[in-house]
Amino acid sequence: MKKSILVCSLFLTLVCIPWIAMGANPVKIEVLYMNHGPLQDSLKEIQNVFSHYKGKVNVSWYDYDTKEGEAFMTKKGITQHIPLVIWMDNQVKSRVDGKDISFTGFPTGAGPASFQGKWTTADLQKVLDQLTDKK
């Protein structure tokens, strides 16, 4: 009897641990964007990066020019004209390769120079790798 209880306990432990690990909450990602021509290529690249993290990220998109986007901007305290902002687990800034990166504006090398941020889609992927490994 004790042996069967021990075997059942061991079995349940081995089965439940992977379920608990898989049941971790996905990384919450919120993207505020301007649905304008110059940003379209960057948005496709960003969507491609997110697609590699299915089940590990939960992405919400907010178009700057919609009522939902306006309400989201108010909630986040955004008052300036900015083409793109990405929040990951409620943070705009993340540490990548020893430096703080703010995921705002176009990625480096894309779009008008005055609206380029100092980040790349490779930086975005590194942060997502870090965040999803923790989950």
Region 52-70 average pLDDT: 93
Inter-CA distances, 110 with 8, 75, 127, Å = 58, 28, 20
Tokens of 25: 């909450």
pLDDT score, position 17: 52
Separation of alpha carbons 19 and 66, rounded Å: 39
The CATH architecture that domain 25-134 belongs to is 3-Layer(aba) Sandwich (3.40)
50 with 58: CB under 8 angstroms? no
pLDDT beyond 90 at 68: yes
Every domain of the chain and the residues it spans: 25-134
DSSP letter at 5 equals H
Amino acid 119 reads W
